[in-house]
């Protein structure tokens, strides 16, 4: 998460919000007062109370998880008239992330977290509607998460380096396949996330990831990644059928990080490299480098020049500007023919 001097972490605790009662999603009352001028009419007594908790949304779920999310001290929260946007009063969260508005007028109101506090790197996620109506004597409670914005993979691929974001998608590989790199797919777009701590994620899992945008051979990836499982085995993973030339070019970059499958791939050359070997394959359309890692269990002794692999699958990873190589995930992706 991009640092903000006014965010201080406290140990997450599991406890109710004291006097607050959480606002249900459908909590709207028919009470209001005039907001044409943004001034509370003197005849309306401020008998309602609004309290809440602001927390750092570590996994982008928009739901407070006491074992994961830190409380946020020093966040400026404003209470406003919904129609005019005029600020009624402000409150700053205490060391436990709590804010408290007493003597709240009967009106249709809106809660907001100060934009200067959020800056360009954070967004606020309200677990209850941020616009609501207040009746006399109400006691309403709110949970507000702050965190990096969620972007689609397609949007992330257009961002400049240095942006902190969340993204969701289907994992294309097991965490162990690429030493902590995960490849995701969502809506036909692909993304590579690196530096992910050990996590039990496998192909087909629906995941949410966070990270900071960076360039790898001119392609946007996420670094310093974190990954969270949303749903295990959400759907089967299917490789995209391409030619060896298409794989080498990654469709002009549009297939960067994709899982691809090539057929009738002839071995044109081999070379030993750190952590395995590279073989050059060609299906008649052009050469592509296929990086076979030791973890696949495939050995160079099993591969010979002229040999034809019926199928080779793997993830596309940039090898140089404009050039990609295929990285099989396991032996199943590049099983040498028996003869």
pLDDT digits (tens), the chain, 339 positions: 333 322 233 333 333 333 333 333 223 233 334 444 545 543 345 789 999 999 999 999 899 998 999 999 999 999 999 999 999 999 999 999 999 999 999 999 999 999 888 987 889 999 999 999 999 999 999 999 999 999 999 999 999 999 999 999 999 999 888 888 999 999 999 999 999 997 889 999 999 999 999 999 889 999 999 999 999 999 999 999 999 999 999 999 999 999 999 999 999 999 999 999 999 999 999 999 999 999 999 999 999 999 999 999 999 999 999 999 999 999 999 999 986
Q: Which residues contact 148 (CB under 8 A, 6 or more apart)?
A: 1, 2, 60, 121, 122, 123, 164, 165, 166, 210
CATH superfamily of 153-231: Nucleic acid-binding proteins (2.40.50.140)
Domain 153-231 matches domain 240-333 at the CATH topology level: yes
Q: How many CB atoms lie within 10 A of CB 94?
A: 15
Q: Which CATH number fits domain 240-333: 2.60.120.10, 3.90.1210.10, 3.40.50.620, 2.40.50.140?
A: 2.40.50.140
CA distance 331 to 339: 16
Reference 312, options 272, 278, 275; nearest CA is 278
- The architecture that CATH gives domain 9-147 is Sandwich (2.60)
pTM given for the model: 0.77
Is-contact 66 31, C-beta < 8 A? no
Q: What integer pLDDT is reported at residue 45 of this predicted model?
A: 58
Q: What integer pLDDT is reported at residue 29 of this predicted model?
A: 31
**Residue 115 — φ and ψ, nearest 5°?**
-65, -35
- The ranges assigned to domains in the chain are 9-147, 153-231, 240-333
Q: What integer pLDDT is reported at residue 36 of this predicted model?
A: 40
CA distance 104 to 31: 13
Q: What integer pLDDT is reported at residue 339 of this predicted model?
A: 60
CA distance 110 to 132: 6
What's the sign of the alpha-carbon dihedral 88, 92, 98, 103? negative
Q: What integer pLDDT is reported at residue 39 of this predicted model?
A: 52
Reference 5, options 125, 117, 144, 164; nearest CA is 117
Q: What integer pLDDT is reported at residue 176 of this predicted model?
A: 83
């Amino acid at each position: 998460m991009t640092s903000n001097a006014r965010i201080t972490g406290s140990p997450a605790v599991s406890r109710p919000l004291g006097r607050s009662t959480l606002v249900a999603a459908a909590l709207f009352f028919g009470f209001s007062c005039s907001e044409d001028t943004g001034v509370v009419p003197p005849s309306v007594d401020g008998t309602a109370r609004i309290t809440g908790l602001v927390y750092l949304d570590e996994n982008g779920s928009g739901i407070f998880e006491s074992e994961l999310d830190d409380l946020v001290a020093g966040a400026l929260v404003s209470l406003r008239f919904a129609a005019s946007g005029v600020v009624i009063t402000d409150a700053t969260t205490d060391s436990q992330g709590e804010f408290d508005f007493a003597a709240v007028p009967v009106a249709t109101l809106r809660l907001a977290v100060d934009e200067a506090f959020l800056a360009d790197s954070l967004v606020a996620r309200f677990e209850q509607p941020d616009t609501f109506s207040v009746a006399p004597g109400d006691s309403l409670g709110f949970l507000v998460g702050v965190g990096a914005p969620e972007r689609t993979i397609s949007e992330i691929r257009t961002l400049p380096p240095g942006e902190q974001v969340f993204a969701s998608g289907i994992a294309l590989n097991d965490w162990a396949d690429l030493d902590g790199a995960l490849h995701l797919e969502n809506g036909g777009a692909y993304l590579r996330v690196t530096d992910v701590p050990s996590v039990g994620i496998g192909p087909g899992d629906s995941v949410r990831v966070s990270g900071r945008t960076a360039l790898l051979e001119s392609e946007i990836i996420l670094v310093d990644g974190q990954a969270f499982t949303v749903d295990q085995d959400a759907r089967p993973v299917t490789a995209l059928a391409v030619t060896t030339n298409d794989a080498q070019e990654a469709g002009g970059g549009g297939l960067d990080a994709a899982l691809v499958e090539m057929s009738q791939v002839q071995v044109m050359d081999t070379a030993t490299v750190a952590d395995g070997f590279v073989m050059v394959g060609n299906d008649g359309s052009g050469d592509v480098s296929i990086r076979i890692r030791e973890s696949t269990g495939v050995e160079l002794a099993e591969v010979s020049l002229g040999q034809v692999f019926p199928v080779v699958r793997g993830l596309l990873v940039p090898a140089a500007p404009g050039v990609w190589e295929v990285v099989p995930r396991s032996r199943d992706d590049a099983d040498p023919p028996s003869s």
